[in-house]
C-alpha cells in the first residue's frame, strides 16, 4: 500500500490506468536505455556504424512497449468495470451485471463487487419496505386515536363543565343537593376517561413489549461494534476523522439484532459527522451493574442548534446556531438531526436511554444505556 499511497498523492498520472501504464513504460525502457548506454560505452565501433542497430532496437522496443501497454490496458478492464459499477450504484442505484465466473484476482474482485452491491440493494429494499410499513402502522394508530376523540371529548366536557359550575357556585352554595348529581357525573366521566386511557396505554405497551421480547436475542455487542467501525471506515476517512474501539474481548447483551446494529452504526456515524477534520472518535462498550453502555466520544466534536431534534434539545443548556441566527429554536435541520432522532427512537423502542452532552471548548459524548435482560420496559413510540 505504501507505493500506491505515494503514487496516488501525485497529480500525474491522475488515473489508476495511467499509473499502471507509466510503470510498464519505465519497466521496459529503463533497462533498454541502460543496455544501450553500456553498448555505446564498451564497444569501440564508431557510433555512426551502430545507428541502424540502435534504430532497430528502438523501434522494436517502442512496438513492444505499445503492445504491452495495450494488453495491460485491456487486463485492467475488470478493475475499471468494478469501479464504474460501484460508482453507478452509488450515484443512480443502477444494478450492475458483472461477470462472476472467473477465478483469478480480477474475477474475484468483480464477483465480490457484484455480490456486495446485490446484498446492499436487497438490504436497502427490505429497509425501505419496513420503513413504509412502519409509517403505515403509525398512520393507522394515529387514525385510531383520532377516532377516539369523541370518547375523550364527552367525558372531559362533563368534567370541565360541572367543575366550572361547582367552582362558581352558579346554582347555589356547595351544600345544594344538585351538586350531588354533578359530583356523580364527574366521577362517572372521570372513571370512563381513565378506563379508556388505561386500555389504550396497556394495549400499546403490551404490543411493543411483546414484539421486543420476541425479536430479542443474546448478542456479542463487541463483535457488532467492530462491524460498525468497519462499516463507517469510509465515512471517517473521507471526513479526516480517526476512529478507535475501546471494548472488552466479549460483552453479551439481550437485544434486537437489527436495532443493535443500527444503533451502533448510526451513533458512530453521527459522532463522525459532528467532528471536524483531524478529530478522533472513540467508540466504547462497557458494562456496570448489569447496564451496557454504548458511547461515542469525539474529542473535538460539537452539535449546533440545527443538529439537535426539538424533543432532545432539553439535554443541552444552550446550543449555538451554525447559521448565526439568534433564534432559540432551529429554523432548519441537518443530516445529523435525522440520525439523532433515529437513535432516540430505537433506544426508546428497546427500553434503553439516550443521552448527549458536549463541552463548550469542544468535545461531544453520545451515550446509550441498555438495561439488563428482563428489566426492559418498552416505551411506546409516538404516532
279 has pLDDT over 90 = yes
149 has pLDDT over 60 = no
Q: What is the CATH number of domain 147-215?
A: 1.10.287
The residue ranges of every structural domain in the chain are 2-75, 147-215, 216-370
Give 326 or 158, the one with higher predicted confidence: 158
pLDDT of residue 270: 92
Report pLDDT digits (tens) over 21-44: 777 777 776 777 777 777 667 777
Q: Could you tell me the pLDDT band of residue 184, with boundaries at 50, 70 and 90?
A: low
Question: What is the average pLDDT score of the chain?
Answer: 77
Distance between CA atoms of residues 37 and 27, nearest Å: 16
Average pLDDT over residues 106-130: 85
Give 373 or 316, the one with higher predicted confidence: 316
The answer to which of 121-130, 142-151, 246-255, 263-272 has the lowest mean pLDDT is: 142-151
Q: How big is the chain by its Cα radius of gyration, in Å?
A: 34
Average pLDDT over residues 295-306: 91
Specify the DSSP class assigned to residue 13.
S
Query: At CB < 8 A and 24+ separation, what contacts does 126-135 make?
Result: none
Q: Which residue has the cell 446485490?
A: 118
Of 367, 337, 124, which is closest to residue 267 (Cα–Cα)?
Answer: 367
Distance between CA atoms of residues 307 and 299, nearest Å: 18
Q: Could you tell me the pLDDT band of residue 378, with boundaries at 50, 70 and 90?
A: very low
Q: Could you tell me the pLDDT band of residue 357, with boundaries at 50, 70 and 90?
A: very high
Give 301 or 310, the one with higher predicted confidence: 301
Domain 216-370 sits in CATH 3.30.565.10: yes
Distance between CA atoms of residues 75 and 30, nearest Å: 23
CA angle 362, 364, 366 (to 5 degrees): 175
Distances (CA, A) of 199 to 137, 151, 191, 194, 380: 19, 13, 12, 8, 14
215 has pLDDT over 90 = no
316 has pLDDT over 50 = yes
Report pLDDT digits (tens) over 63-74: 877 787 778 778
Average pLDDT over residues 42-60: 73
C-alpha cell at 187: 366521577
Q: Could you tell me the pLDDT band of residue 219, with boundaries at 50, 70 and 90?
A: confident
Sequence-ordered alpha helix ranges (H) in 274-354: 335-349
176 has pLDDT over 90 = no
Q: Could you tell me the pLDDT band of residue 278, with boundaries at 50, 70 and 90?
A: very high
Distance of CA 64 to the CA centre of its chain: 50
Distance between CA atoms of residues 223 and 151, nearest Å: 50
pLDDT of residue 377: 37
Amino acid at each position: 500500500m505504501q507505493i500506491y499511497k505515494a503514487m496516488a498523492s501525485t497529480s500525474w498520472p491522475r488515473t489508476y490506468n495511467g499509473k499502471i501504464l507509466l510503470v510498464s513504460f519505465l519497466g521496459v525502457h529503463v533497462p533498454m536505455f541502460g543496455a544501450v548506454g553500456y553498448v555505446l560505452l564498451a564497444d569501440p565501433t564508431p557510433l555512426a556504424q551502430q545507428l541502424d542497430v540502435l534504430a532497430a532496437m528502438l523501434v522494436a522496443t517502442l512496438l513492444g512497449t505499445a503492445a504491452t501497454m495495450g494488453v495491460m490496458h485491456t487486463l485492467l478492464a475488470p478493475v475499471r468495470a468494478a469501479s464504474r459499477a460501484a460508482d453507478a450504484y452509488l450515484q443512480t442505484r443502477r444494478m450492475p451485471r458483472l461477470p462472476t465466473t472467473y477465478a483469478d484476482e480480477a474475477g474475484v474482485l468483480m464477483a465480490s463487487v457484484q455480490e456486495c452491491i446485490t446484498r446492499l440493494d436487497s438490504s436497502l429494499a427490505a429497509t425501505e419496505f419496513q420503513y413504509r410499513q412502519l409509517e403505515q402502522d403509525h398512520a393507522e394508530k394515529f387514525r385510531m386515536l383520532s377516532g377516539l376523540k369523541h370518547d375523550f371529548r364527552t367525558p372531559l366536557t362533563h368534567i370541565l363543565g360541572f367543575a366550572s359550575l361547582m367552582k362558581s357556585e352558579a346554582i347555589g352554595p356547595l351544600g345544594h343537593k344538585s351538586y350531588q348529581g354533578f359530583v356523580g357525573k364527574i366521577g362517572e366521566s372521570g372513571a370512563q376517561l381513565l378506563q379508556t386511557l388505561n386500555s389504550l396505554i396497556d394495549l400499546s405497551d403490551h404490543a411493543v413489549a411483546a414484539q421486543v421480547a420476541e425479536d430479542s436475542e443474546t448478542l456479542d455487542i463487541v463483535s457488532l461494534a467492530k462491524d460498525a467501525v468497519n462499516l463507517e471506515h469510509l465515512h471517517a476517512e473521507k471526513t479526516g476523522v480517526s476512529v478507535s474501539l475501546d471494548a472488552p474481548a466479549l460483552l453479551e447483551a439481550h437485544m434486537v439484532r437489527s436495532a443493535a446494529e443500527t444503533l451502533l452504526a448510526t451513533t458512530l456515524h453521527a459522532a463522525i459527522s459532528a467532528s471536524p477534520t483531524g478529530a478522533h472518535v472513540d467508540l466504547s462498550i462497557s458494562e456496570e451493574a448489569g447496564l451496557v453502555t454504548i458511547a461515542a466520544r469525539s474529542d473535538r466534536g460539537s452539535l449546533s442548534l440545527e443538529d439537535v431534534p426539538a424533543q432532545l434539545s432539553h439535554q443541552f443548556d444552550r446550543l449555538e446556531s451554525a447559521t448565526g441566527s439568534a433564534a432559540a429554536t432551529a429554523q432548519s435541520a441537518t443530516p445529523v438531526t435525522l440520525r439523532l432522532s433515529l437513535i432516540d427512537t430505537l433506544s426508546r423502542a428497546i427500553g434503553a436511554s439516550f443521552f448527549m452532552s458536549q463541552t463548550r471548548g469542544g468535545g461531544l459524548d453520545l451515550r446509550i444505556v441498555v438495561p439488563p435482560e428482563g428489566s426492559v420496559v418498552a416505551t411506546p413510540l409516538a404516532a
